[in-house]
Each structure stands twice: as C-alpha cells, then as structure tokens.
Chain A
C-alpha cells in the first residue's frame, strides 16, 4: 500500500547589502536588514501564513491521514522570529498536531558538508538545538542543504545518529532503479535513504503554472491519477520541494492553494494510498537496495550537481577564502563574529554568483537580489576583506599598538585583547 510523502524546504537567507570597499574596516554590518525584513514579510503573507493555514485546515479535516514534513533552516527561523513571529507560531501549531514531522539540516543552510566536516557537524547540532528550543522535538531524519548528497555525507550523517536522509532521485545515480522505494547508502549501517521523485515533484514546483505545458492546467484529479499509477511498482512517492512553491513561486492566482486543498481527497480516492512522514515511510517499507553516490548530487538546476553554487572561479575563490577564516573566527570566541561568518556560508550567496547562462540562468536571476553574479562576488570580496581585518585584530598573536603615546610610555605595546570590534549579530 503506497505512501505519498511530502517534504517542504523552508528557507530564507540573510541577503547582503551593497557593501562598498570604503566601508571596509569601519562598518561590520553586512546584511540588508530592510530587504530581509521586507522579503520575509512578503513571503509570509503570500506563502507561509496562508500555506500553513491550509495545511492546518487539511490536518483538521483528515487528522488521521494527512501528514507532511518540513525542514526550516536556522537562518529562516531566526528571521521569522524577528520579522514575522506569527509565522513561527503557525509552524508551532502545525507541529503540535502530531501530523507534521520536522527534519534537521545545517542551521545556516550552508555548503559545509562539502568543505569542512567539523563545521558541518557543529551547524547540524545548532539546528538540532534550535528545533528543540522552538518546537520541543528532536528530528530523526536529516536533509542536507538543497538535497546535497554523497556517500561521504551519508556516512557523516549516519554517524550523527539520524535514521534516514533525503536525496535527489536522479537517474544517473539510480541506474534504472525507481525512486519510489526506500534505499540505503552504499556504506550504510542501517540508515535509510529517501529519494525525491523529481518528475512528479517538479510538476508541482516548476511546471504547475506553465501555460506552454501540455498538462496545464494541472488538476488534483490528474495529479492523483499519476500518483496512483505507481501502485504495484513502488512503495512511496517522495514529493520534495520548496515550501515557497505555494503562493510565492506559484502565485495564488495559479490555483496552487486549491490544488493542495483538493489533493488529500483525490489521493485517498484510491483506497490503497495514504500520506506518510519520512519517519513512517522508513518503518513501513524495508530498503530494497544500496545506492552509491560518489560525487555529490543535489536537487538544483538541470545538472543536479553542485554547479549551482560551485565551479566558476568567483564561486570557488570566494568560498575557499571564506573557509580559511575558520580558525581565526572560532578562536576569537566572539559570538557575533562567528554568527556572521556562518551567515556568509549560506549557499544562496554562491548561488547568486552562478554564471550558467542557459535554462537555469533565469531561475538564478529570479532568486538573486543583485544585478549580476559579479556584483555578489565583489560585495562578498569586500565583506571578506573586512572579515580579514577583524580576524587580524582579534588574533592574540598579533599585538596592535593602539597609540604611539602608549608605546612610548611603556616598553610593552598595548595588547589588543580589549579591542573587540563591534559585532553585527
């Protein structure tokens, strides 16, 4: 009896402002508070609040049957708490129903799994703590930033005690297998793998409002019939997508809310079908095979690899430089500085620097607040130069004489330990 497993990614980055090189060394506040507040509020109004209300309505109508899952990035939740606390409350209400499962990820929605295992684990722990603080639950399932997955990442995640992890059901990885079963990582010791059915997911996430598409307009009836087709040839249909699909990427007037409102009924018209959370799916169905993913895959762009964030010299140069600050930043014990450094790790900053010009260029442009990838890169360069100065100053090994007078008066120059820069939390 197959399950339909919905997972929604909820994420908002801290966008950078146009930080000019004249500000380096003077102003350590890199983020565009105004834009971040406005975007959070706008998306809350268009998506989070009405979508959460709809989900709650569906859960109340089908308390035993309708189930969904989310992962909310730490930086998104932080911003909701600051800019639109009613969004936090609405998620808390959903979680309290018991029909909603929360998944863990890195707090900063970062690419740390590809660069620094230690930092990756620290950020996952931060997220786990935050989920506990806000929702009182401890996630058992993990999903990495933008579904980035590889054998190595799976090993790290399993070592942290997670029971399952999500990944893209990408054909070159599946090699003819169906995404509609539970799998295991290549070297797994019991952790399960849930693979996204990207065709059916993207029918909703990307094609839903596309008038050129032969299936437009897509009805819940039609879509449910497609789901029902897997009966007998699969255990679970994993529909993973951005939560912002509802009302933000697909505007309300496309009928996306009505589509979801009708979906439980049309799905369950087939008596064998039900909704399940990832934790339920891995209990219900045994794994059918092991999957090996030596090179990282993701759910982004046509390539489903990491080329949305990495690969061009601007992206590679900026992120490599960013990670070189690890020791200096963590060594500073300056919580504001550490938080800032991690906010800069959010994958979106590198996504904006992408220069792929074909089909995906449009998607990147849609998400970017900058005129060009080059702007994001030059802004990041200015920000990191300021970071370089800040970490120079806080490194105790390098004394900074404060005034000439002082060094004259004493043989020892004044030490910099009291010279903590102002932080931008």
Chain B
C-alpha cells in the first residue's frame, strides 16, 4: 500500500483514513506493507509493516547532480523539490531524506521520485496486489506493477481517491500538473475506489474513468472504547457556540462560515462562532470577520491535534461543515461522536451515509441561518439527532469499509488466479 502520511504526522483526513482502513483490513488476514515517503514515526501502526521509502536508493541521476561543482548535498536535495539531505549508502547509491514540508512545489518531480523509490522497494518485496492512496502515490502504484510484471506476475492496482484536485481547486480549476497525474493514475488503475458517490461522479466526469471500474467505499469512523468527556467550558455556559473545523481553504467553504456568522450574530448576540484550523485562506477569513464587524463574534484557533480536537467538538453546541466540495467529510461524524449535531453541505460524501445530519446547500446562508438558530434553541431536536446519529455510526465502522475493500481485492485477484489474500505490498 502506498500512502503519504499517517497520524500524528498528518495534515488532514488522508492519514486518518489510511490508518482506519488498514486497522480494519489487518484482522481480516490482509498482510500490509505500508510505504511512506519518509520516517514519520507513525503511531498505532503495529498492525502493518511501515516502510520508509527514503531509505531505499534514489535515482543515480542524483549522483550526477551531486558531482556538479559547488553544490552541497543539501542544495542538491532541495533542488529536487522533495528532499532535505542526501547521503551515500554503503552500496554507493544516494539516499534522499524526504522533506515533509513544501509539498506540491513540484508535483511531477515528487510523484516521479516516489515512483522511483516504489520500484526499488517492489524489487525487494513480494505482493499480490497494490493499493495507492491519492495522487502522490499513483505513479508509485504503476511503477510497482511494472516491476511485478517484469518478473511475470500480474498484480492488480487499486487507486483510492480520498479527494481530487477538482475538489481542492474550486473555481480556479486546480493545479493542472496534479490533474494530469490523477488522470493517468486513475485511467491506468485496474480499479478505482472513491470515498463517496459524490466523488465517483467527479471521477467519471472529470477524469474519464468508466463507472464500472469505480467502486464506492465510504470512510468509516473509529469508535473509541470510551470517548473522554471534557469539562464544561466557561464559554459554553455563557454563549451558544458554533464550530468550523478543517483546513481553511476554498473547498471547505470557510468564507460561507463567516457569512453565516454574520447572519446569525446580527440576529442573536449570544451566539459565537469558532473557527479551528489552518490553511491558505486563514488570514483572509480573519480579515473578513473583522471587516464584517465580527470581532468578538468569531474566534479562531490554529489546527488542533489529539485530545484537543474532541475538546473543540464538545465545546460546540453545533458543528457546521459548509464545504463547497467535500469527497467525504469525516469531521461531521466526529462531531456527532462527541455529541454535537452537525449541519453539512449537500456537496459532500458524508451526506450520503447519515440520515441524522442536517443537509443544506453550502451557498444557502439563509437556510443555514434558520437551521442554526433552530438547532441551537431546540435541545430536544439536537439531542435526537446526535442520539440517532450515534447508533447509526455503528454501521459506519472501518471494519465495514475494510470488508468492502477486501471484497474488491478478492474480485480482482479471483479474476487472475486463485486468491492468496493480500493487498498492498504483500508478502506471501
């Protein structure tokens, strides 16, 4: 399996989803090699074999570059667009330490580097099936399949779409280089898994992948044995609190959250809005709030981790996910898990899996305003939603998602030869 991040070194939902899915697959007898671009010391990853791709030899072209006069190994590493340091191994081949920050400066270079590493790894490992998560790993999947092919093995390739550049790019159309990588990866895959029907449609429409090649596997949510309860916060006693949590970037609709804050607080001074997250639109949103006269009405917190995430959900009386385009939207389920009802945009995958989310078009601020005030002031309705949501969530487990994925593996492997079950980079 090729991934890009795992908690706690994750910037968003991708790492969480990869962890959840593999935790579901392992008990089903699936033996997983999980490749990461660097040594990110993943937590809770004992159920699989985590491989640090940067320990494998990089392309010899790096050596040529190193020989160029006057460039330090660091400078060469940085010039590659993905590295921070180069060392020469005992085999005389270069190793490039992956630089966790600075993604997408050169998407093509990064994807190609990862593909090269993937081929090096594939040569040393045996596997029945390859599973690639997100565009950064699509070339890697293809490269690994070619290595297997060269030794006479037919190895199906599954690419897993957690989000597309079309979602991220919004009206700007996204980064064309990334869209090209996505197109190639998705079209050359034997099967494409999307996290929602919503995303399936995008993959069909924008990436020219035929519907029969796409399977929908909704994300799950891990249910902690006992959800920690946090102290009722002083803020909560005095105000009604409405929460946004996520990357502050166009596709998440943070500006619609500010608009909503204006509409609601103009009418009800007891309500405060809280925006948790970091991202490229963070400053713009802060300025926008100030401009709208919302100083003191909208509070901000940078990206939170671990316990603090649950603390924020529990602090809120209501959660809003106003995404313009959201492949899944795990945050809405996490909110419910913490007993906080959620309003989500209709343009989201999570809207497909729960009947207990309030669904409104992201642009319909007026409808949202009404819903916010109604939910804030009718505790019975809020409670009913979260209660029902919680019981519904038992079916939204990663175990279920993993079973679906296992079914897809069996189908693909069965089409070739009798299955010895294992996905991902798999050892027999």
A residues near B (Cβ < 8 Å) are 20-22, 24-26, 312-314, 316-318, 320-321, 355, 372, 374, 377-378, 381-382, 384-385, 388-389, 392
Contact A21 B301 (CB under 8 A): yes
Interface check B268, CB cutoff 8 A: no
Contact A374 B282 (CB under 8 A): yes
| Chain B min CB distance to A307 (Å) | 16
Contacts A/B (CB < 8 Å), 16 sampled: A20-B301, A21-B235, A21-B299, A22-B315, A313-B291, A314-B287, A316-B290, A317-B296, A321-B295, A374-B286, A377-B290, A381-B299, A381-B300, A382-B299, A385-B296, A389-B234
| Chain B min CB distance to A357 (Å) | 12
Contact B296 A313 (CB under 8 A): no
Contact B296 A381 (CB under 8 A): yes
Contact B283 A374 (CB under 8 A): yes
Contact A392 B238 (CB under 8 A): yes
Contact A378 B234 (CB under 8 A): no
CB-based nearest A residue for B293 = A317
Q: CB-CB < 8 A to B272: which residues of A?
A: 385
The main secondary structure of chain B at its interface with chain A is helix
Interface check B47, CB cutoff 8 A: no
A355 and B274 alpha carbons, distance in the complex (Å) = 23
| Chain B min CB distance to A16 (Å) | 15
Q: CB-CB < 8 A to A21: which residues of B?
A: 235, 274, 299-301
Contact B295 A318 (CB under 8 A): yes
Q: CB-CB < 8 A to B293: which residues of A?
A: 317
Contact B287 A374 (CB under 8 A): yes
Contact A389 B286 (CB under 8 A): no
Contact B296 A314 (CB under 8 A): no
Q: Which of B266-299 contact A (CB under 8 A)?
A: 272, 274, 282-283, 286-287, 290-291, 293-296, 298-299
| Chain A min CB distance to B258 (Å) | 12
| Chain A min CB distance to B235 (Å) | 5
A148 and B206 alpha carbons, distance in the complex (Å) = 59
CB < 8 Å: which of B233, B308, B311, B312 contacts A25?
B233
Q: CB-CB < 8 A to A312: which residues of B?
A: 287, 290
B residues near A (Cβ < 8 Å) are 233-235, 237-238, 272, 274, 282-283, 286-287, 290-291, 293-296, 298-301, 308, 311-312, 315
CB-based nearest B residue for A379 = B300
Contact B287 A313 (CB under 8 A): yes
A68 and B171 alpha carbons, distance in the complex (Å) = 62
| Chain A min CB distance to B324 (Å) | 23
Q: CB-CB < 8 A to B233: which residues of A?
A: 22, 24-26
- Pairs A-B, 6 closest by C-beta atoms: A25-B234, A317-B295, A313-B290, A378-B300, A313-B291, A314-B290
| Chain A min CB distance to B287 (Å) | 7
CB-based nearest A residue for B308 = A22
CB-based nearest A residue for B272 = A385
| Chain B min CB distance to A65 (Å) | 52
Seed contacts A22-B311, A317-B290; 4 additional CB < 8 Å A-B pairs: A24-B234, A25-B238, A313-B287, A313-B291
Which of B286, B291, B296, B299 counts the most A-chain CB atoms under 10 A from its CB? Answer: B296
Which of A312, A314, A377, A381 counts the most B-chain CB atoms under 10 A from its CB? Answer: A381
Q: CB-CB < 8 A to B238: which residues of A?
A: 25, 389, 392
Contact B295 A378 (CB under 8 A): no
| Chain A min CB distance to B259 (Å) | 16
Q: CB-CB < 8 A to B315: which residues of A?
A: 22
Q: CB-CB < 8 A to A22: which residues of B?
A: 233, 301, 308, 311-312, 315
A12 and B303 alpha carbons, distance in the complex (Å) = 31
| Chain B min CB distance to A349 (Å) | 13
A22 and B300 alpha carbons, distance in the complex (Å) = 11
Which of B235, B287, B298 counts the most A-chain CB atoms under 10 A from its CB? Answer: B235
Q: CB-CB < 8 A to B283: which residues of A?
A: 372, 374
| Chain A min CB distance to B419 (Å) | 50
Contact A378 B299 (CB under 8 A): yes
Q: CB-CB < 8 A to A24: which residues of B?
A: 233-235
| Chain A min CB distance to B303 (Å) | 12
Q: CB-CB < 8 A to B282: which residues of A?
A: 374
